[in-house]
Amino acid sequence: MLIHGWDVAIATGQDPTLDPELCLAAIAVIGKYPPSFWGTGRFFAPRIDTTSTDPQLRLLAHSGRDPNLRV
């Protein structure tokens, strides 16, 4: 839901800033998904490599979102 909230904020022109602690919690959960879960034909987009230490940027990259996206 956190990532979907970011998607909706971007699509509607709202502030897409996510709570850093919630981002870390989400990373802890989705980080356990096996590599086969990500990518073509799956619910999630392929992961994007990042070296960022920012929790929001890491979460977005981990879920295949482009943090620079603006509609």
Res 25: pLDDT: 96
Compute the Cα dihedral for 45, 66, 7, 70 and give only its sign: negative
Res 38: pLDDT: 65
Res 46: pLDDT: 65
Cβ atoms of 70 and 10 closer than 8 Å: yes
pLDDT digits (tens, 9 = 90+) for 4-54: 999 999 999 999 999 999 999 999 998 888 767 766 655 556 667 777 889
CA distance 16 to 5: 8
With a CB cutoff of 8 Å and minimum separation 6, the contacts of 8 are: 14
CA distance 58 to 36: 19
